[in-house]
Amino acid sequence: MCQKENNNKEKKGQHLTKKERDIIEHLYNIQGKNISEIAGELGKNRSTILREFERGKVEQMKPNPYVSRNPKVPDYLVFYRYAAEKGQRLHDEYKRQKGAKPKIDIKLKKYLEKAINLKYSLEVLAHRIAQNSMFKTKICTNTIYSYLDKKLININRTHLTYGRYKPKNRGKQREKEKTTAYKNGRRIHDRSPEIELKKEIGHWEMDTVEGKQGKNEPVLLVLTERATNMEIIKLMKSKQKSSVIEELDKMEKELGYKAFREKFKTITMDNGGEFRDYSGIEKSLLSENQMRTKVFYADAYSAWQRGANENANKFIRRFLYKYTSFNNLFQTDIDKIEHWMNNYPRKKFGFKSANFIYNILLA
């Protein structure tokens, strides 16, 4: 039997080999040596051998030689042996579950923590790390999720922009007659099929984003360009039809009638009460009896028909949470969010920004 001298020191982090497990089995089961003696034989720490024994021990029974002398004692006695095969199997299984050692250093850790706090998605961060030569390690989105779950970075999933979730199943709901009465000729199905191709800029989706609900609470008017995801966000004094028209009038004054009509060829909206006055939205302020845009309405309970708008609202919620008042905000605050969104790397555009794509299509 191979033995090591007692003064051999165990190297830190060194695991037992299969051969050493076989030696433990022989020393304990055949020679009857205890844990401390086996540790000395192998030059290992006693706690290492003790943990290994607990991993590989098996319970066995043998007849009790004292049964005939005392009928109250059990017929069999329980004792433990060490099985090298079991110890090796559990060791290999644990190693598989543990997986490879995470490849994360201080530089990468600090970068991830800072970027997640700056509202960047994990997909964007994985792309940036892959493109940046300062990082030796290239990781994917799932690896960053793994870092979060293993507490390797000081961020948890509640800090993410929005997590993985399933939409609520509301079932099929029918559109009420009162929402169809004013939509004749302006339903989303009346819109030109070419708009669906998203090859031409100038076709927008419009929605409002609320903070704290209330009659006199400010809201955001959000316009999202369908082909490029370019954003225009305006702080309105209230969620009223008149406030929507007032903001569009301001934009027409700034751009001029022709430029406004060219920039906003169509606008697709939901069925909210603030968008009911389609004539006020369409009618030009600067050119009498002329239309400055063409309005279309999505079907009720069909938010997916305005997917660009819905995604934009999620971006905004990274900064402005639900049920918080916008009373203390100024348009300059909203402009910063708009600028951030328009320059954010988009996966759908090969991680180019909406601003970049818009200017290419505009040229």
Q: Given pLDDT bands bounded at 50, 70 and 90, which one contains residue 236?
A: very high
* pLDDT over 50 at 5, yes or no: no
Residue 4 pLDDT: 43
- For the segment 239-248, what is each residue's pLDDT rounded down to a tens digit? 999 999 999 9
| CATH architecture of structural domain 183-362 | 2-Layer Sandwich (3.30)
Q: Given pLDDT bands bounded at 50, 70 and 90, which one contains residue 152?
A: confident
Q: Exposed e or buried b for every residue in 84-110, given b needs 16+ CB within 10 A? A: beebbeebeeeeeeeeeeeebeeebee
Residue 94 pLDDT: 78
Residue 70 pLDDT: 61
Residue 2 pLDDT: 43
**Residue 82: beta bridge partners?**
57
Contacts for 44 with CB less than 8 Å, ≥ 6 apart: 10, 16, 20
Q: Given pLDDT bands bounded at 50, 70 and 90, which one contains residue 167?
A: very low
Higher pLDDT, 29 or 336: 336
Q: Given pLDDT bands bounded at 50, 70 and 90, which one contains residue 184?
A: confident
Lowest-pLDDT range of 21-30, 84-93, 161-170, 181-190: 161-170
Residue 14 pLDDT: 64
Amino acid at 53: F
- For the segment 242-288, what is each residue's pLDDT rounded down to a tens digit? 999 999 999 999 999 999 999 999 999 999 999 999 999 999 999 99
Q: Can you give the residue ranges of every domain in the chain?
A: 18-98, 106-159, 183-362
Q: What is the mean pLDDT of the chain?
A: 85
Does this model's pTM top 0.75? My answer is no
* pLDDT over 90 at 181, yes or no: no
User: What does the longest C-alpha to C-alpha distance in the chain come to?
Assistant: 117
Q: Given pLDDT bands bounded at 50, 70 and 90, which one contains residue 66?
A: low
Residue 176 pLDDT: 60
Residue 162 pLDDT: 56
- For the segment 320-331, what is each residue's pLDDT rounded down to a tens digit? 988 899 999 999
Q: Annotate 3-47 with three-state secondary structure.
A: CCCCCCCCCCCCCCCHHHHHHHHHHHHHCCCCHHHHHHHHCCCHH
* pLDDT over 90 at 99, yes or no: no
